[in-house]
Amino acid sequence: MSGLAGAVLFVVLAPVAGGLLVGADRVVTARMQGRVGPPLLQPFYDVGKLLEKEARQVNPVAEPLLLGHLAFMALTGALVLGGVDLLFTVFVFALAALCLVLAAGSVASPFSHAGAERELIVLLATEPFFILMLAAVCKVTGASTFAGVLASPVAVAEELPGVLLAFLFVATVKLRKSPFDIAASHHPHQELVSGLTSDMSGRLLAYVHLAHWYETALLAVFVVLFFNRSVPLGLAVFLLAYAVEILVDNSTSRAKWELVLRSSWAVTLLFSGGNVLAVFLLGR
């Protein structure tokens, strides 16, 4: 498959896969809580309704920033599968998150401001890991693109088990699952409710949901990098990890932002840093 075809497939299919995962998440969560729950396709119905509704424009810059958030999130996955240098894509990934922070911070609301500040903390907690992760993958495989990693004879998961474990931890933060959903939450009992999306409505909120679906699919692509010898195995591992994330989400309460930052950096340094150090010392 060519890079262009991979990029187009991601842009088209990633929101479908992400929406189905969110729908499955809601179904499983409802069953765990003893409720009937919504149908599997409910997220698509919700986004469709949001796109039809009139958005409450709180300021003129919110919509362009949210469109940028959606576009850069889709672009990140397209660049990864399109054959662009993996380390470059990390910065596009961070730019997508920054657009969301700016959109929430532009609203005159204490809930949105608090959510924006905490989203910046999430960015600080996770971006160092993603840079280190992709640098390590490129190091052990000798390749800097997605196709190059898949073609490498090196089994990435066997070389970087610590980085893989750290990724599963950091993914909890990026998927906005408890106890690390400090910036936004779908649990109504928590103090921020929707956090940085509190003042978004209509198509503006739909952009955020679509971007999150792209982000979820992108995390699945990152897992595939670890299981480069078998793409189906990588996707299966991601689905298993996502099921564990749902269990954790429904059995824990929100942590303080200090714990999120400290624990993410600790895991990044101990597991990822230690694993990368071992790779360099062994001369691989």
Distance between CA atoms of residues 132 and 242, nearest Å: 22
Residue 1 has a pLDDT of: 63
Residue 183 has a pLDDT of: 67
Residue 205 has a pLDDT of: 87
Tens-place pLDDT, residues 231-280: 999 999 999 999 998 888 888 777 787 888 888 899 999 999 899 888 88
Q: Which residue has the higher pLDDT, 94 or 111?
A: 94
Q: What mean pLDDT is predicted for residues 4-23?
A: 92
Cα first-last separation, the chain: 29
Residue 214 has a pLDDT of: 96
- Cα–Cα distances (Å) from 110 to 39, 107, 266, in that order, read 34, 9, 30
**Is residue 170 scored above 60 in pLDDT?**
yes
Query: pLDDT above 70 covers what percent of the chain?
Result: 93
Residue 33 has a pLDDT of: 82
Tens-place pLDDT, residues 54-109: 777 677 888 899 999 999 999 999 999 998 999 999 999 999 999 998 888 887 77
Distance between CA atoms of residues 231 and 176, nearest Å: 25
**Is residue 179 scored above 60 in pLDDT?**
yes
Residue 178 has a pLDDT of: 80
Distance between CA atoms of residues 65 and 138, nearest Å: 32
Tens-place pLDDT, residues 19-57: 999 999 999 988 888 888 889 999 999 999 988 887 776
Q: What mean pLDDT is predicted for residues 110-135?
A: 87
- Cα–Cα distances (Å) from 256 to 26, 260, 262, in that order, read 25, 7, 10
Distance of CA 274 to the CA centre of its chain: 24
Residue 145 has a pLDDT of: 93
pTM of the predicted model over 0.95? no
Residue type, 43: P
Report helix angle 86-105 to 202-226, nearest 10. Answer: 160
Query: pLDDT above 90 covers what percent of the chain?
Result: 51
**Is residue 150 scored above 70 in pLDDT?**
yes
154-163, 183-192, 213-222: least confident range: 183-192
- Cα–Cα distances (Å) from 59 to 34, 62, 106, 199, in that order, read 41, 6, 7, 11
Output the CA angle 95-97-99, nearest 5 degrees.
70
Distance of CA 64 to the CA centre of its chain: 21
**Is residue 187 scored above 60 in pLDDT?**
no
Query: 10: which residues sit within 8 A by CB, 6+ positions away?
Result: 74, 77, 78, 80, 81, 217, 221
Residue 115 has a pLDDT of: 79
pLDDT band at residue 190 under the 50/70/90 scheme: low
